[in-house]
């Protein structure tokens, strides 16, 4: 059998089943559960449909994740989707995935998550503020909040630099913490709800375009469930990956889907669907409605745990994309360097953290999210399509895990995600323009720098 299906041995396999499951949970549960409900509620205006769409999101994520689990078990190598796209399609497809993922989606996501963390930390430490300046030199201004962002990036970058075991342990700790906080909030919200308030689950919805509602609601749902694919990126460091990779994906997604359903049910028990739609801080508003002023403190702690964990997890897996690309001769050669002592892709980690620091200084959270929404969904779509291609291309390859219900399960993901991509371009065309321009910028970079190296 081709060496492409053999296990890597250069990186240390220190991620056990518990660590891998924690990475799945930690990768998904981030800012989405706090930010997405308002947009979904605004699009649907129906409590019943609101909860149904969260279930649909979980089912869709399962369909994609099961496809990813088969690919990861067949090719348990660092790089995740990069490896599968390289095997199924021409080299430039894998390059553009890595180009967008490393420099925009991951680095920007790290920057955005760290900014949220620093902002909520300011809730408890008042001197951490975007208005409080520590350095000003012309247009370059460093606030205490931005300085906190830099300090957080340095801390988490160092943790992951010295070993994947430490990063994996931190992922497990923060994942348990955030799930416990969200479940605790849901329980308190249900017990503290107004028992006399009657919820009309499926009210009449006049003047609402069903197609537009579906598309806009799925934008929020898709973003909130994003992250299930990232464990495959560190597959080269998972212990017994052909067993633990599929198992951790299944367990992790089951936990996330249940948590999302009950937390959103808690939102509905405290707030009306219109109040959710109008809220910029739905979790805080719901907690304050149920718990009073202490609710703000409780939710702020939950957000701190959630964002800190997401940033850590992203710094854990994002450099592995650059590492995998470099090994496939599709990225800068230095990014494949493995630290002789810590056995981590140390230079890739440094590069990602530095790029995130730049986005922290120049980027906008909302603008970044909107710009790569189409790219995220599009490349996941291509990765699941790669499953069909590789089944035909390598029919005799050893597949310790196979997608349940093939070909209907992955095909469901392909159809729904295709509709999502179209809806992004229809309803958020202007917001997608920065990402499209960045994608086009990768064309000359590939053809003038990496094309010959990838074909060598």
Query: What mean pLDDT do residues 434-446 have?
Result: 84
Query: What mean pLDDT do residues 122-131 have?
Result: 78
**pLDDT single digits (tens) 46-94:** 888 888 888 888 888 888 888 887 887 777 665 677 788 888 898 888 8
Identify any residues that bridge with 238 across adjacent strands, giving them in sequence order: 15
Residue 382: predicted pLDDT = 93
**pLDDT single digits (tens) 285-335:** 787 787 777 777 877 787 787 778 778 777 877 787 777 677 767 677 777
Residue 9: predicted pLDDT = 45
Contacts by 368-371 with C-beta closer than 8 Å and gap 24+? 368/104, 368/108, 368/109, 368/111, 368/112, 369/112, 369/223, 370/428, 370/431, 370/432, 371/104, 371/431, 371/432, 371/433, 371/434, 371/435, 371/438
Report the half-sphere exposure of 354 (CA within 13 A, side-chain side).
Answer: 6
Domain boundaries, the chain: 3-454
Residue 411: predicted pLDDT = 93
To the nearest 10 degrees (0 to 180), the angle between helices 144-161 and 107-121 is: 120
pLDDT class for 1, splitting at 50, 70, 90? very low
Give me the residue label for tokens 């964002």. Answer: 307
Terminal CA-CA length for the chain: 22
> In a 3-state reduction of DSSP, which class is residue 438?
helix
| Fold (topology level) of 3-454 | Amino acid/polyamine transporter I (1.20.1740)
pLDDT at residue 253 is higher than 70: yes
> In a 3-state reduction of DSSP, which class is residue 209?
coil
Give just the sign of the alpha carbon dihedral 173, 177, 178, 180.
positive
Kindly report the number of other CB atoms within 10 A of residue 200's CB atom: 11
> In a 3-state reduction of DSSP, which class is residue 91?
helix
Query: What mean pLDDT do residues 200-213 have?
Result: 67
**pLDDT single digits (tens) 386-397:** 999 999 988 888
Query: What mean pLDDT do residues 210-217 have?
Result: 69
Residue-averaged pLDDT of the chain: 77
pLDDT at residue 12 is higher than 70: no
């Amino acid at each position: 059998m081709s060496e492409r299906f053999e296990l890597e041995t250069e990186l240390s396999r220190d991620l056990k089943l518990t660590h891998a499951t924690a990475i799945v949970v930690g990768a998904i549960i981030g800012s989405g559960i706090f930010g997405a409900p308002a947009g979904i509620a605004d699009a649907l205006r129906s409590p019943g449909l609101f909860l149904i769409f969260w279930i649909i999101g979980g089912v869709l994520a399962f369909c994609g994740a099961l496809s990813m689990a088969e690919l990861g078990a067949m090719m348990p190598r660092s790089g995740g989707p990069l490896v599968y796209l390289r095997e199924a399609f021409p080299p430039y497809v894998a390059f553009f995935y890595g180009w967008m993922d490393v420099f925009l989606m991951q680095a920007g996501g790290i920057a955005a998550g760290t900014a949220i963390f620093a902002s909520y930390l300011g809730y408890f430490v008042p001197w951490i503020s975007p208005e409080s300046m520590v350095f000003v030199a012309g247009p370059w201004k460093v606030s205490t909040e931005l300085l906190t962002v830099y300090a957080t990036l340095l801390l988490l970058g160092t943790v992951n630099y010295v070993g994947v075991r430490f990063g994996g342990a931190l992922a497990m700790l923060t994942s348990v913490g955030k799930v416990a906080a969200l479940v605790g909030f849901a329980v308190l919200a249900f017990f503290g709800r107004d028992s006399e308030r009657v919820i009309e689950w499926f009210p009449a919805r006049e003047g609402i375009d069903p197609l537009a509602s579906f598309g806009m609601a799925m934008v929020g749902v898709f973003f909130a469930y994003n992250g299930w694919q990232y464990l495959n990126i560190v597959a080269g460091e998972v212990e017994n990956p052909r067993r633990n990779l599929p198992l951790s994906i299944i367990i992790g997604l089951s936990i996330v889907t249940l948590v999302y359903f009950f937390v959103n049910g808690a939102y509905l028990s405290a707030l009306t669907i219109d109040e959710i739609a109008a809220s910029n801080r739905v979790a805080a508003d719901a907690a304050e409605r149920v718990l009073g002023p202490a609710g703000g403190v409780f939710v702020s702690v939950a957000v701190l745990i959630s964002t800190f964990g997401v940033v850590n997890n992203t710094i854990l897996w994002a450099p592995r994309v650059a590492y995998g690309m470099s090994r496939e001769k599709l990225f800068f050669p230095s990014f494949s360097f493995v630290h002789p002592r810590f056995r981590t892709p140390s230079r890739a980690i440094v590069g990602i953290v530095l790029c995130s620091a730049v986005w922290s200084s120049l980027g906008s959270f909302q603008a970044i999210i909107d710009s790569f929404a189409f790219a995220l969904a599009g490349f996941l779509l291509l990765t699941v399509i790669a499953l069909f291609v590789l089944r035909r291309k390598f029919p005799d390859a050893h597949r310790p895990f196979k997608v349940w219900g093939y070909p209907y399960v992955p095909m469901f993901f392909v159809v729904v995600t295709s509709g999502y991509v179209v809806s992004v371009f229809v309803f958020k065309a202007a917001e997608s323009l920065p990402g499209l321009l960045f994608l086009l910028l990768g064309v000359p970079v590939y053809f003038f720098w990496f094309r010959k190296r990838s074909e060598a």
